[in-house]
Structure 1
Amino acid sequence: MSAVVENNNKSSRRMIPLRYVLTPIAIIVAAVIGLIIFAVLSPKPAKKPVIIKPPLVEVQEIARANLSFTIASQGNLVPRTQTQIVSEVAGQIDTVNEKFQVGGFFSKGEVLLQINDSRYQVALLQAQARLEAAKALLVEEQARKKQAEDEWRLTGRALSEAPILAIRVPQLQKAQADVNAAKADVLDAKVKLARTHITAPYDAIIKAQQVDIGQYVNAGSVLATLFAVDYAEVRLPIKQRDVEFLTLPKINQPPAALSNIDIYYHIGGKEYHWPASLSRYEGEVDSRSRVHYVVAEINDPYGIFSANKSQELRIGTFVKAKITGKEVTDIVTLPREALHGANQLYLIDENNRLKIQKINILRHDAEHVYSYDQFAPGLRLVTTQLQTPVDGMALRVVGELVDNQTQDEPNSLAAENAQGNAL
């Protein structure tokens, strides 16, 4: 009996009433139907028209003018001349100028050092003595020649018929030659004596000192190296494309008005400038670098002869140069950032439509582009970058009222640019 009751209980637990299943399904279906009815019957929001504005750009006028281009270059300052002072006589150095050291300045003709001249004083006295003896022999020979001529006349014959030996012509010529030779010896002795005093050949600074007091030197010994300071030079490389804009000196022609040069360099946080002139053009193109070379001349770089110079420009200094070129007429100057690709400009016409134009570039630098090209009246230069420029697209100009035609006919490509650019 108990087993039958247990089986009935298990059967009752397995049977679930139908209402518990259908009720959740009915709720879900009712909710879905309600959402559909709400979506269909609810009022739809009104659609606003999408206004696509053309890109907003900045423009500038295209102006023409006459220009003188500035050519940049650089180089090292070198002396106009540098000389090794060589002894022409032998002897011991017995006197040295206190300024005879590296960096010492000497005026032209000032004595650097002196070689002991005792032997050369003696040689001069000996040469002078030989000269006096030769002169005495000449006087004696002149008297003998006159006596010979008188004796020939006593024979009653013409002097022109006398043999030259009879009237002592060769003997007189030898005596005269001996006097001339003695004079030459005196001159040579004086020159050697003078060469014991070593002097500066020009206003100069000592670059290297090879000898000092007490040292014995031979003829040909190098005593010092010095360089001129009246003016210095800078060898400036010029690119081939820049040569035509400079006024360069011509070979075998009188100098004309040449390009001016501004030499400058930075030191101690300051920039110093020196005026220079274009002294010469080397007239040769470097076979490796394909550049030309001009030479700039700077007067008194050390300020020795000018009291108003505050900063020395020392030999060996690396300097920069700005060379003023000749004037070029009727040139358009454009910002470098306004050039797109190799040679394209974005222009805007009177109807605020984009015009893409290629130009011929005369030259360019870091900031500007220069061209001879002519531009149609009314065109202005667009200086704003455009993401997808199309020739003829509508534009808006900063600071100007929007054209009505542009509002009525929006440009979809312009809209893409407007979205892509931060204007």
Structure 2
Amino acid sequence: MNFTSTQVRDSSTRRMVPLRYVLTPIAIISVAILILILATVLAPKPAKKDQVFKAPLVEVMPLEYQDITFRIASQGSVVPRTETRLVSEVSGLITQVAEHFLVGGFFRKGEVLLSIDDISYKVALQQARSRLETAEASLIEEQARVEQAEDEWLLTGKSLKDAPVMALRIPNLKKAKAELAAARANVAEAEVKLARTKIVAPYDAMLKAKKVDIGQYVTTGSELATTFAVDYAEVRLPVKQKDIEFLNLPRINQGAGQGLSVELYYQLAGKTYRWPGVITRYEGVVDSASRVHYVVAQLDDPYNVLDADSRDEIRVGTFVKASIQGRQISGVVAIPRSALHGADQVYLAGDDNALSMQKINILRSDLDYVYTRDKLDTGLRLVLTNLDAAVEGMALRIFGEENERLARDESAVSPAQNSQASF
């Protein structure tokens, strides 16, 4: 029994912890908190500054009304003004071809492209001329007989008016004249056929396609070659309905295009090639599918073979862009596209540098500008800078004016600094 009590006392003694081990951490934490509170209360407070709103800095440009000649953009392919399929009008063996009877070969008007064997046509011509001489002799003989018949009739003492036609051989004379006319026609036909054994260029031309060569037999109607004229080429240019009013196009019954100029150009390997041209006609029909109008530009000597000057050639089939001279319109303001907000709104700055938001009526637009004839106050300036949160009447800082103000401020401070440094 005594042994058990001793064990209980020892166990109780081991479980008891000194009070200082509990109070010391609590005291340390409390002191730290107190020090932190005192440091926060006694720390100097930052000086309060009034919140200043800084107006956005913008770039502006003046509004200027001017006379603008619009250029209408279009595009099309260069095509020859005339393209011809040459066919044979006679039959025979091709006996000769020109040295440059090749695709891309150039021929002057009247130059021989190829020749067809003409021996049979020379024979036919000689025969026709022989028949002509026979007909001429027959006519002379018949005229003599008519004169003799008239003399014999007059010996009867009667007037020639009373003579029957057979007595005066009038039908025989008409027959001889008709045979002579037919003989002359036969000679002319034989000459034409003989001439057509020589295939000549109908105009200053370039060979587009070659269908025959030397030694080949051709018949009437056989296709020989395809040529196209090189004196000038044409470009068929589509024009949108909204652009037609900006062009001085002639009426259909007025003929040519009144000297309306056009510049044709294309880019190749980083270089731009340009050619001047003239609008020669307006087709006067609206395309039912695309709803566009068509004008035709003329480009003289596209291959530069007639004048042989220093300009570049432009080949048939080349796809080119065009800039057509339009009408001059007065009182127009050109606004950069970057200054247009939405479909038709611009930002303006007044003399007080307050923002004014205004809608405009757009007369025309292109890649870089929109144009308007609205009468805007010329005292206002166009804001070029894009504003994220634009509000009507908000204050603005103008780019050039801000630099001038800073310069004035610096010049005002500098004398004071100099005087302090001297003191």
Match in the other structure for 2:397: 396
| Contact map agreement 2:256 2:281 (CA 8 A) in 1 | no
Instruction: Give the counterpart letter for 1:287 in structure 2.
Output: S
Match in the other structure for 2:324: 323
Rate the CA distance shift 1:389–1:221 in 2: closer, same or farther, 3 A.
same
| Contact map agreement 1:248 1:258 (CA 8 A) in 2 | no
Instruction: Give the counterpart letter for 2:191 in structure 1.
Output: K
Map 1:15-414 onto structure 2 (within 5 A).
15-255=16-256, 257-400=258-401
Tell me, in whole angstroms, the C-alpha distance in 1 between the residues paired with 2:177 and 2:403: 111
Tell me, in whole angstroms, the C-alpha distance in 2 between the residues paired with 1:137 and 1:403: 113
Tell me, in whole angstroms, the C-alpha distance in 1 between the residues paired with 2:404 and 2:234: 62
**More displaced stretch, 23-32 vs 113-122:** 23-32
Deviation digits for residues 389-411 of structure 1 (CA, Å, limit 9, x no counterpart): 1111111111225999xxxxxxx
| Contact map agreement 1:396 1:402 (CA 8 A) in 2 | no
Rate the CA distance shift 1:403–1:354 in 2: closer, same or farther, 3 A.
farther
**More displaced stretch, 139-148 vs 252-261:** 252-261
Rate the CA distance shift 1:185–1:402 in 2: closer, same or farther, 3 A.
closer
**More displaced stretch, 152-161 vs 343-352:** 152-161
| Contact map agreement 2:259 2:278 (CA 8 A) in 1 | yes
Deviation digits for residues 225-275 of structure 1 (CA, Å, limit 9, x no counterpart): 111111111111111221111222321115463321111222343222111
Rate the CA distance shift 1:367–1:8 in 2: closer, same or farther, 3 A.
same
Rate the CA distance shift 1:196–1:280 in 2: closer, same or farther, 3 A.
same
SS of the counterpart of 1:176? Answer: helix
Instruction: Give the counterpart letter for 1:156 in structure 2.
Output: G
Instruction: Give the counterpart letter for 2:327 in structure 1.
Output: K
CA-CA distance at 1:29 after TM superposition: 3.6
CA-CA distance at 1:4 after TM superposition: 3.1
Match in the other structure for 1:410: none
Instruction: Give the counterpart letter for 1:204 in structure 2.
Output: A
Instruction: Give the counterpart letter for 2:349 in structure 1.
Output: I
CA-CA distance at 1:24 after TM superposition: 3.3
SS of the counterpart of 1:212? Answer: coil
CA-CA distance at 1:122 after TM superposition: 0.8
CA-CA distance at 1:306 after TM superposition: 2.0
Tell me, in whole angstroms, the C-alpha distance in 2 between the residues paired with 1:136 and 1:399: 106
Instruction: Give the counterpart letter for 2:270 in structure 1.
Output: G
SS of the counterpart of 1:252? Answer: helix
**More displaced stretch, 183-192 vs 306-315:** 306-315
CA-CA distance at 1:155 after TM superposition: 2.1
Tell me, in whole angstroms, the C-alpha distance in 2 between the residues paired with 1:91 and 1:304: 33
Tell me, in whole angstroms, the C-alpha distance in 2 between the residues paired with 1:117 and 1:402: 92
Match in the other structure for 2:420: none
Consecutive unaligned residues in structure 2, runs of 5 or more: 406-423
Match in the other structure for 1:5: 6
Rate the CA distance shift 1:384–1:217 in 2: closer, same or farther, 3 A.
same
Rate the CA distance shift 1:403–1:196 in 2: closer, same or farther, 3 A.
closer
**More displaced stretch, 218-227 vs 9-18:** 9-18
Tell me, in whole angstroms, the C-alpha distance in 2 between the residues paired with 1:6 and 1:336: 100
Deviation digits for residues 45-95 of structure 1 (CA, Å, limit 9, x no counterpart): 321111111111111101111011112222111111110111111111111
Tell me, in whole angstroms, the C-alpha distance in 2 between the residues paired with 1:126 and 1:49: 121
Scaled by the length of structure 2, the TM-score of the pair is: 0.91
**Alignment length (residue pairs):** 404
Tell me, in whole angstroms, the C-alpha distance in 1 between the residues paired with 2:257 and 2:226: 35
Deviation digits for residues 173-224 of structure 1 (CA, Å, limit 9, x no counterpart): 1111111111111111111111111110001111111111111111111111
Tell me, in whole angstroms, the C-alpha distance in 2 between the residues paired with 1:104 and 1:9: 129
Rate the CA distance shift 1:402–1:92 in 2: closer, same or farther, 3 A.
closer
| Contact map agreement 1:352 1:394 (CA 8 A) in 2 | yes
Instruction: Give the counterpart letter for 2:199 in structure 1.
Output: I
Scaled by the length of structure 1, the TM-score of the pair is: 0.91
Tell me, in whole angstroms, the C-alpha distance in 2 between the residues paired with 1:117 and 1:396: 92
| Contact map agreement 2:62 2:378 (CA 8 A) in 1 | no
